[in-house]
Amino acid sequence: MALYGISDLHLSFGVDKPMNIFGKVWDNYEEKVKVNWKKKVKDDDFVIIAGDISWGMHLVESIKDFEFIHSLPGKKIILKGNHDYYFASKTKMEKFFKDNHMDEFYVLQTNAIDIGDYIICGTRGWGEVEGEKELDEKIIKREAIRLRLSLDEAVKLRGENVGKKIVLAMHFPPFLKEFQDVINEYDVYKCVYGHLHGYGHTKVKEGKIGNVTYVMIGCDYTGFEVTRL
């Protein structure tokens, strides 16, 4: 079993939201994702998809996007991004997958998932956005609480088996002080994130910072390939 990650698929099979309006790099990117994914991922592997998965406003508009992902090998662990408007709750997403016979999907939202060699945990996070500063600060504080809850669950699941590695997934870059203060309290092996596009790639941080290895998995940053973790 291998673990991979990818983020920001921004699929739009059910709505009119072509990504190539943001640049030619997005031309035919769905096929690039499909081909690269199938080259690497086997049926018993896991793939973390760290948010901004579908442009659908509601699940009925997103079903074709998830059917596309469903057709690809491996088990998928999904996380909510800031553009996943269809994502009302973990419970509703799990019901959606069950009703549509997509049993290989796992939903990550303030919880943790034991997949054998790894414990996967995470939350959306938050970052620099337009809007009221007071509101942003409230969201950051709330996400920091969710981050801690998820990491606590990961530690609980791991128990005394310290050989299991904790992998943290966030949609937004995890480098705000409020998030770093929490992350650094825990034995996190790797932290993956996405969200950044275009000029935002100049803000990417990767490699070991403190005791944690950070990996940017936004698909346009990785050449539309899943990243082996």
CATH number of the structural domain spanning residue 28: 3.60.21.10
Q: How confident is the model at residue 129 (pLDDT cuts 50, 70, 90)?
A: low
Q: Which two tokens stand for residue 30?
A: 């769905």
Query: Which among 196, 44, 37 is positioned nearest to 29, based on CA atoms?
Result: 37
The sign of the torsion formed by the CA atoms of 151, 172, 214, 32 equals positive
Number of domains the chain is built from? 1
Q: How confident is the model at residue 44 (pLDDT cuts 50, 70, 90)?
A: very high
Given this model, what pLDDT does residue 134 score?
72
Q: How confident is the model at residue 135 (pLDDT cuts 50, 70, 90)?
A: confident
Reported pTM: 0.95
Residue 51 vs residues 10, 157, 180, 204: alpha-carbon distances, Å: 9, 23, 20, 17
Q: How confident is the model at residue 127 (pLDDT cuts 50, 70, 90)?
A: confident
**Mean pLDDT in residue range 41-48:** 97
Given this model, what pLDDT does residue 187 score?
96
**CA–CA distance, 1 with 116 (Å, rounded to integer):** 9
Q: Is the pLDDT of residue 167 over 80?
A: yes
Better-scored residue on pLDDT, 206 or 21: 206
Q: Is the pLDDT of residue 2 over 60?
A: yes
Which residues, in sequence order, are bridge partners of residue 218? 7
Cβ pair 69, 33 in contact under 8 A: no
Mean pLDDT of the chain: 94
Cβ pair 166, 119 in contact under 8 A: yes
pLDDT tens per residue, range 47-105? 999 999 999 999 999 999 999 999 999 999 999 999 999 999 999 999 999 999 999 99
Q: How confident is the model at residue 162 (pLDDT cuts 50, 70, 90)?
A: confident
**Mean pLDDT in residue range 148-167:** 95
Range of the domain at 119: 3-228
Cβ pair 90, 109 in contact under 8 A: yes
Strand-by-strand arrangement of the 46-49 sheet: 105-108, 75-79, 46-49, 3-6, 227-228
